[in-house]
Structure formats: C-alpha cells, structure tokens
C-alpha cells in the first residue's frame, strides 16, 4: 500500500513541477495546488498506513482498548490544508492585480520583467476600493 | 511568570487586533502602535533577564505532557533574538508615525506589522518543528499584505517573485517535516535530537536535512536562492523594508542555526561542508552584486545577502567561537541593516530620490542624516571600534582556528568590498554637489526631527555595542555553548513537565 501511494506522490510531484516550471503564472498556481496535495499525502503516509480503528476511547472506558491509527499526521495535514487554501486565495488575487497592471502573466514577457512598464490601472477609485474594501 | 515566553507573541497579536479596529483613526493608530511596541520591548527585556537567571524558560502550551504538546522555549539565543525584534519593532513604529500616509494606515499597515512581529517572535521561541512552519506561514501572510500595499511601481511584479519563491520554500519545508516525522515519529526539536541520531536510514535523514537547508536558505537568501530579495525589497514602503531587511532573512538564519546545531549533527561532514561552500559563495556574490547597483536600497539589499553569508559561515565552521561570532553578527547586523534602510528613507525625504545619480549634497544640507548614515555604514563595513569589526574578527578568528585560510581571506576581502559600496553611497548622496534640478517629479519634503530619533538611537546602540563588546561576546559564548552542547536545552524541555 505504501509503495503504491509513494508512486502516486512521485507522479503528483512530477506533474506539479512541470506545471510550476512552465513559465505561466496561472499554471504555477495549479502546480502549487497539486504539489500541496502531494505533500499532504506524503505526511499522511509518513504516519504509516494500517487497517486499524480510529483513535477513539469508548464511553465506558478510560483508555484505548485496541490498536489505533496515528491521528497526528491528520491534524498536521488539516493545518497544512487550511494554510494552503489561504495561500492559494492570496496568490490568485495577487495575480489578478498583477494582470490588471502589466497585462500579462507570462514571466518571460517584457512587460512583466520591466518594472517601469507597470502602470496604474485606468480607474484609481476602483483600485482604492479593491485594496481597502468598503469603509 | 510561567507564561512569560508566550507574552512576546500574544501582546503584538492583541495590539494588532486593537489596531485593526482603529484603521480609520490615524493619530490613535500611531499612538497605540508605538505604545504596543514599547510594551513589547519591556517584555523582551524581562524575558532576557529571566533567561539570564534560569538559563532556559520553557512553557508547555495547553499543559500537554512532553513531548506531545507544543512548547515555547527561550534559551539565550531565542531571548536575544526576541529582544532585537522588539528593538527594531519600536524603532520602525517610531519612524512610521511620520512616514506612513493615511491610505497605508487604512489598508492595514499597523495590524500587519504587529502580526509580523508576533510571528517572528513565535518562530524564535517555538520548540516544535511544525509550529515553526506555522509561524513561517503567518510571517509570510503578513509580509504579503505589507508587500503589495503602497503605490510604488514594480511592487506587484516584485511581489509575485517574492510570493512564488517563498511558497516554494514552504513546500520544501513541509515536505521535510513529512519525511522527518516518518523517520522519527516526533517533531519536537529537543526530542528529535536523540531520535535523529538513532535513525537507521541516514541517507533519507540527510535528504530531509538538505530539504530544510533549501527551505531556510531561500528565506535567508543564500546563494543561489537569493535573487528574489533584491527584486522585492526596494519596492516596499521604507519602514516595511527596514523591518524586512532587519528581521526576515535572519529568521531563516536562526532556523538554520537551530536545526543544524540541535537536530542534524550526525553527518556534519556533509551538511556543514555544504553550508560552508554556500556561505562563501553567498558572501562573494552578494557583495559583487551590490557593486553594480546605483539605487540605495538595491545596494543595501545585496549587502544583506553578503552579510548573511558571514552568519552561515559561523554556523558552518561549527565551533563554539564561530557560533558565538554568528550570534554577535546577527545582533549587530539586524540593528545596522534596519537602520540603513531607515536612513535610505531619510535620504529619499531630503534628496527626493533613492537613485544615487539624481541626488547629492546632503552632507551640507542635512548633517544629522549624514551622521545617521556613516555610523551604521562603517559598522557594516567592519571598522573598529564599531560592532561589525568585532563580529567579523570573531568569524575570521574561527576560520583561522579551523585552518580555513581561504575563507578567512575571503571574509576580509568581502569586508573591503563592503567599504567600496558604502563609500559609493557616501560620496554620491552626501559629498557630491547636488545635481541641477531637472525633473520636477522628485518631491523634497522637510525633515521632521522625530524621524531622526529612531535612526540616531539605533546608531547610538551600534556605537555602544562596539564600545561595550566584552559582555556581548561573553553572552554569545554562553549562548554558543548552549547550542554546541544541547543537553541543557533537552533536559529543560523534556525533563520539566508541566
């Protein structure tokens, strides 16, 4: 089981790296999402895969009565998922703003590389509301 | 007093909460931020005093037994780093009161800065690897927010570079965490020390160590992973860039020092030799990169890179003297570098631009700014008796003790090239006659004396550090002793049950 999951993780890493290196920032975000999930699977596998019961104590006992699965990796993954979700949201908004200013999300293009080419968007009022939110 | 290690994290969080409610009231925001920063400074001094008395302060958050819960550990190194963070936070807040415009306050400059301070302190104090990851993420989120506010051209493309590279660093970090957990079954750093030494699959452990080295190397801007730093720092608002320049890359250095003294010490022949090569190249490329720049903050950004090389060299040599040198270097560098970035803001204020070609004559018109620049600049270059001289001396002495003569020579040469860059800024911005006014776009504003106070105070700290170096070096030797022989740390963390 571990070997199978390891192959899957490797495959996900490879696909994600390909996406992230492709030079388009939109593909980078997809790659980042994929690689985040691959890492989560890695942590999950690191906690060992066994057919055991969840770590719950029966109501009439004070301790565990049977072999249980490792709950810590799941807690770690949950944290990592939440953080990754926030990061992806932020990156998407940042890319949207960058696209509005530079007109491209291809990292090889001149308007992306040249800082002076970055200009204010047409409507500054809208810009302000976007950054600050309704006040 | 048991909760003292948590307070430097909780206080900025609480202040950030209050500040986010005061976003529309600029004057009260200034006051609350400055008061919060000063309280934070007082707490940091208290923490350092406690650590000096009891050696190590440990707090098991939530009262879970060791090593299952998350713990906060303040040893000598952590305590001094928290104190430096508090000093920089206070100086930056004092400076920001007169530099930040209402728009930035409304966008949330103050809450973001306080969350960033809390996260940096959290990273310094935590004793758990996964918790360190969480603090890194909090730090990233706050820095992202600060990065894209303001109206500087290039902030978005610079921001994209910063964000993508740092996201990749966190991926490396969490992959390493997964591997380490799979190998050892624990993520508590003190517990890892013994468990990592007993791992049979040393190849995989070294692979995890290298993943961590890359992750922290990106944060610390080591060769060849440094290019995001000079691409982003010059687009930031001045107070933000001062805090970033002072603290953020040094959190990476701290994490490297912590992990490669406490956990990964079994295969030093490979890991620490790699660090040594990387450190030497970082020093060299940083200082050479600076030589070709004409924008003040770009020059200073490249110098962050070369200076980080010295600190990592101290770690790579892995002797008590070298580690003490690295700690002195950290303390000296954070203060000096943050100060230089604040001075660059003053130069921009009085001269109208960050570009050295379009400014000049500031020595004549603003003598105090010149004083504020020359002290940290000379300290950075390593002139006696300022703090940088002693820091470099310790590192070079440690090189000679390990018979690394090439590295000693390189350290000295990089110091010389640093002088070249500092003199370039000095002659261009301060000595050369002011160029004739050509572009009307440059805005010269009168200098508020309140903005000079944080700059001159930090310069005073630099001078005092240089003059009273003996206790600082003694303190660093004790801190280095704790790092080289982590038994005290481990027994304090694992033995001291709640």
Q: pLDDT tens digits, residue range A22-56? A: 888 899 999 999 999 999 999 888 887 776 777 77
Q: What domain range includes position A51?
A: 2-132
Which residue in A has a C-alpha nearest to residue B177's C-alpha?
A43
Does ipTM top 0.90? Answer: no
Cβ within 8 Å, pair A87-B154: no
Residues of A in contact with B174 (CB under 8 A): 39, 43, 80
B247: closest CA of chain A, how far (Å): 22
Residues of B in contact with A94 (CB under 8 A): 144, 148, 156, 159-160, 163
Quote the number of domains for chain A. 1
- Pick from A87, A102, A121 the residue to mutate for testing the B interface (most B CBs within 10 Å): A87
Residues of A in contact with B159 (CB under 8 A): 94, 98
Cβ within 8 Å, pair B156-A46: no
Bridge partners of A24, per DSSP, are: A106
Q: How confident is the model at residue A133 (pLDDT cuts 50, 70, 90)?
A: very low
CA gap B8, A7 in Å, rounded:
44
Residues of A in contact with B130 (CB under 8 A): 76, 79
Under a CB-based contact definition with an 8 Å cutoff, are residues B44 and B82 in contact? Answer: yes
Higher pLDDT, B67 or A22: A22
Tokens encoding A106: 């291809």
Rg of chain B over CA atoms, in angstroms?
A: 22
Cβ within 8 Å, pair A119-B174: no
On whether any CB of chain A is under 8 Å from the CB of B174, the answer is yes
- Pinpoint the alpha helices (H) of B292-386: 296-317, 320-351, 362-365, 367-381
User: Under an 8 Å CB criterion, which residues of A touch B?
Assistant: 20, 25, 28, 32, 35-36, 39, 42-43, 45-47, 72-73, 76, 79-80, 83, 86-87, 90-91, 94-95, 97-98, 101-102, 112-113, 115-116, 118-120, 128, 131-132, 135
Q: How confident is the model at residue B451 (pLDDT cuts 50, 70, 90)?
A: confident
pLDDT above 70: residue B215:
yes
Cβ within 8 Å, pair A115-B168: no
- Pinpoint the alpha helices (H) of B200-248: 202-220, 228-232, 238-243
Under a CB-based contact definition with an 8 Å cutoff, are residues B308 and B278 in contact? Answer: no
What b/e sequence results for B235-251 when a residue is b if at least 16 CB atoms lie within 10 Å of its CB, and e otherwise? bbbbbbbbbbbbbbbbb
Reported as a single tens digit per residue, the pLDDT across B358-391 is 888 888 888 888 888 999 998 988 888 888 899 9
**Full DSSP string of A13-36:** HHHHHHHHTSSBHHHHHHHHHHHH
Closest CA to B245 of B222, B220, B280, B225: B220
pLDDT above 50: residue B263:
yes
């Amino acid at each position: 089981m571990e070997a199978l999951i390891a192959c899957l993780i490797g495959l996900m890493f490879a696909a994600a790296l390909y996406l992230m290196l492709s030079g388009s920032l939109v593909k980078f975000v997809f790659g980042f999402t994929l690689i985040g999930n691959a890492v989560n699977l890695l942590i999950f596998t690191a906690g060992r895969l066994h057919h055991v019961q969840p770590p719950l104590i029966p109501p009439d006992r004070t301790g565990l009565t049977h072999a249980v699965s490792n709950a810590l990796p799941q807690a770690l993954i949950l944290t990592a998922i939440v953080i990754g979700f926030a990061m992806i949201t932020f990156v998407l908004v940042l890319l949207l703003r960058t696209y509005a200013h530079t007109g491209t999300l291809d990292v090889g293009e001149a308007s992306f590389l040249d800082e002076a080419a970055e200009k204010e968007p047409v409507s500054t009022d809208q810009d302000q509301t976007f950054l600050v939110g309704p006040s | 007093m048991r909760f003292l290690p948590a307070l430097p994290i909780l206080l900025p969080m609480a202040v950030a909460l209050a500040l986010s409610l005061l976003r529309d009231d600029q004057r009260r925001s200034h006051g609350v931020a400055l008061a919060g920063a000063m309280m934070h400074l007082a707490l940091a001094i208290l923490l350092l005093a406690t650590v000096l008395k009891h050696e190590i302060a440990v707090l098991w958050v939530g009262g879970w037994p060791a090593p299952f819960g998350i713990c906060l550990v303040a040893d000598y190194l952590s305590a001094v780093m928290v104190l430096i963070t508090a000093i920089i936070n206070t100086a930056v807040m004092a400076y920001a009161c007169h530099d930040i415009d209402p728009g930035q306050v409304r966008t949330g400059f103050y809450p973001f800065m306080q969350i960033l301070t809390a996260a940096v302190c959290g990273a310094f104090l935590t004793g758990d690897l996964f918790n360190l990851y969480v603090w890194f993420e909090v730090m990233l989120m706050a820095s992202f927010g600060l990065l894209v506010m303001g109206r500087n051209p290039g902030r978005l493309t610079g921001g994209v570079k910063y964000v993508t590279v740092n996201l990749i660093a966190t991926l490396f970090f969490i992959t390493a965490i997964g591997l380490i957990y799979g190998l050892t079954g624990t993520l508590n750093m003190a517990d890892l020390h013994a468990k990592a030494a007993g791992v049979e699959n040393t190849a995989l452990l070294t692979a995890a160590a290298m993943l961590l080295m890359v992750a922290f190397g990106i944060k610390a801007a080591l060769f060849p992973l440094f290019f995001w730093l000079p691409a982003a720092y010059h687009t930031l608002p001045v107070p933000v860039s001062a805090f970033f320049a002072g603290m953020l890359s040094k959190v990476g250095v701290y994490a490297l020092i912590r992990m490669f003294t406490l956990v990964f010490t079994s295969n030093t022949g490979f890991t620490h030799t790699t660090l040594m090569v990387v450190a030497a190249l970082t020093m060299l490329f940083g200082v050479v990169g600076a030589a070709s720049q004409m924008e003040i903050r770009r020059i200073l950004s490249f110098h962050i890179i070369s200076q980080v090389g010295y600190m990592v060299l101290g770690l790579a040599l892995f002797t008590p003297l070298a580690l003490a040198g690295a700690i002195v270097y950290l303390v000296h560098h954070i203060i000096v570098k943050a100060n230089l970035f604040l001075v660059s803001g003053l130069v921009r204020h009085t001269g109208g631009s960050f570009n050295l070609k379009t400014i000049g004559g500031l020595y004549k018109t603003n003598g105090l700014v010149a004083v504020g620049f020359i002290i940290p600049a000379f300290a950075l270059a390593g002139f006696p008796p300022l703090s940088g001289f002693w820091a470099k001396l310790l590192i070079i002495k440690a090189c000679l003790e390990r018979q690394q003569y090439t590295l000693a020579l390189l350290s000295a040469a990089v110091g010389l090239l640093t002088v070249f860059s500092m003199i370039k800024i000095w002659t261009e911005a301060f000595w050369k006659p002011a160029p004739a006014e050509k572009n009307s776009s440059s805005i010269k504003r009168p200098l508020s004396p309140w903005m000079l106070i944080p700059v001159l105070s930090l310069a005073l700290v630099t001078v005092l550090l240089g003059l009273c170096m003996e206790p600082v070096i003694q303190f660093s030797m004790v801190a280095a002793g704790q790092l080289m022989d982590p038994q005290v740390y481990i027994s304090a963390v694992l033995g001291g049950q709640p």
